[in-house]
Amino acid sequence: MIAYAVSRLLQAIPILFLVSLFAFGMIYLIPGDAATVMGGPEASAADLERIRENMGLNEPFLQQIVSFYVNLLQGDLGQSLMLGTPVLDAIIDRTPITLGISLYSLAVTIVFGLLTGIVAALNHNKLLDQAATLFALIGISLPNFWLALVMIVVFSVHLGWLPTGGYVPFSESPMGWLRTTTMPALALALLQAGLLTRITRSTMLEVLSQDYIRTARAKGLTEWQVIGQHALANVMMPVVTVLGLILSVLLSGSIVIEAIFGIPGLGALMGNAILSRDFPLVQGGLISIACSLLLLNIVVDVLYFWLDPRVRIKGGD
């Protein structure tokens, strides 16, 4: 297993290189003078010079890319133009907030998506199945930022159950945290729950048609034993593999959701960085998010390898 993990990590190196290269190259997509775009309309000549100096834009291209990688390997992602602090510190500061909401949302997604998917598959082509399928379809078709706004109108403005926005840290007041994060987590969860329901349902349908399920039924096990012990274990595997995808969609969604609810997390940080053209922060954010997701996918694959004997025999793919 260790050999497998090491080989997966080695395979990730060229991808990590390309990821950082794309993030680096982003600045060259800016039409015209990058410093002018980043400085905004009010920047003075001195401001622009400071930006060029800060980002090394005056250096020759080769020098820029070399120092970018030298800094990157030392964990230095540069200085944020907007905040004036190191990019890495800003990202590390905001990550726990987004991570908390993402995990909350992930928990809702898993419970809801798995349950609906399994119930749908067990009632294949019956009313419950159709209702679950419709729910999943609507889930993946609604814009989540729109859903967030509608939830604010319903639950905050009309019913007054939850605040319209803001954020209370868990350490300050767990109840306050729950009140401020429930709507964002639900708005984020809907899309993923739809995805997970669809995947769980189709996997479960496939598993249920397998010989070992027929065998389990034939030897007289109760339906609970058949589903709980034989089917569920096999359904979990593909579900585990989509976790990386789900977390990626969650992080994407957090940009606009955190902006709507005024939550000072990583998503809002990235959103503000993008809107104020703070490219060092955008680059640093893209690199750290992509790297974390890649690592997460490797961890998931290694777990999969460890859990599923079939992958181990084939040597993984």
Q: Shortest approach of other proteins to residue 20 CB, angstroms?
A: 9
Distances (CA, A) of 206 to 124, 202, 310: 11, 6, 17
Q: Could you please report the per-residue DSSP string of 182-210?
A: HHHHHHHHHHHHHHHHHHHHHHHHHHHTS
Which residues ranging from 162 to 201 are in contact with other proteins (CB under 8 A)? 195, 198-199
- Phi/psi at 42 (5° precision): -90, 0
Among 77, 118, 290, 302, binds other proteins (CB under 8 A): 290
Residue keyed to tokens 């859990």:
307
Interface pick for other proteins out of 114, 185, 189, 259 (rule CB under 8 A): 259
Q: Which residues contact 61 (CB under 8 A, 6 or more apart)?
A: none
Q: Is 35 in the site for other proteins (CB under 8 A)?
A: no
Binding range to other proteins, per CB under 8 A, among 18-26, 84-92, 228-236, 299-307: 18-26
Record the tokens describing residue 111, joined without a space: 């419970």
Residue 305 contacts other proteins per CB under 8 A:
no
Q: Considering the rule CB under 8 A, would residue 248 count as an interface residue with other proteins?
A: yes
Q: Is 70 in the site for other proteins (CB under 8 A)?
A: no
| Gap between the Cα atoms of 299 and 288, Å rounded | 16
| 62/157 with CB nearer other proteins | 157
Half-sphere exposure of 300 (CA within 13 A, CB side): 18
Least Å distance between CB 31 and other proteins? 6
Segment 102 to 161, residues that bind other proteins, using CB under 8 A: 137-138, 140-143, 145-147, 149-150, 152-153, 157
How is residue 6 written in tokens?
């090491």
Count CB neighbours of 84 within 10 A: 9
Greatest Cα pair distance, the chain, in angstroms, is: 82
- Binding stretches for other proteins (CB under 8 A): 14-15, 18-19, 21-22, 26-27, 29-31, 37, 137-138, 140-143, 145-147, 149-150, 152-153, 157, 195, 198-199, 202-203, 206, 242, 245, 248-249, 251-253, 255-256, 259, 270-271, 274-275, 277, 279, 282, 286, 289-291, 293-294
